[in-house]
Amino acid sequence: MAQVTCVVCEGQVTLPEGAMEGEILLCADCGTELELVSLDPLTVEEAPQVQEDWGE
């Protein structure tokens, strides 16, 4: 199984089988949502926070 390093706490996050770019992963150590941005090389970034637009 492939693993990536959390960009917030540097903990190890295991990628699920068949993971695809754009998938959201959860760091078990700090709870941060990470977005898989590249498979080669394996790269994650902190997932963008979805903000409510309140119908604007």
The pLDDT tens digits for 22-54 are 999 999 999 999 999 999 999 999 998 876 667
Classify residue 32 by its DSSP letter. -
pLDDT band per the 50, 70, 90 thresholds, residue 12? very high
CA distance 29 to 31: 6
Domain positions in the chain: 3-46
Measuring CA to CA, which residue among 49, 34, 40, 22 is closest to residue 14?
A: 34
The total of other beta-carbon atoms located within 10 Å of residue 13's CB is 21
Measuring CA to CA, which residue among 4, 10, 12, 13 is closest to residue 40?
A: 4
What pLDDT does residue 50 have? 73
pTM of the model: 0.82
The matching CATH number, chosen from 2.20.28.160, 2.60.120.10, 3.40.1160.10, 1.10.150.110, for 3-46 is: 2.20.28.160
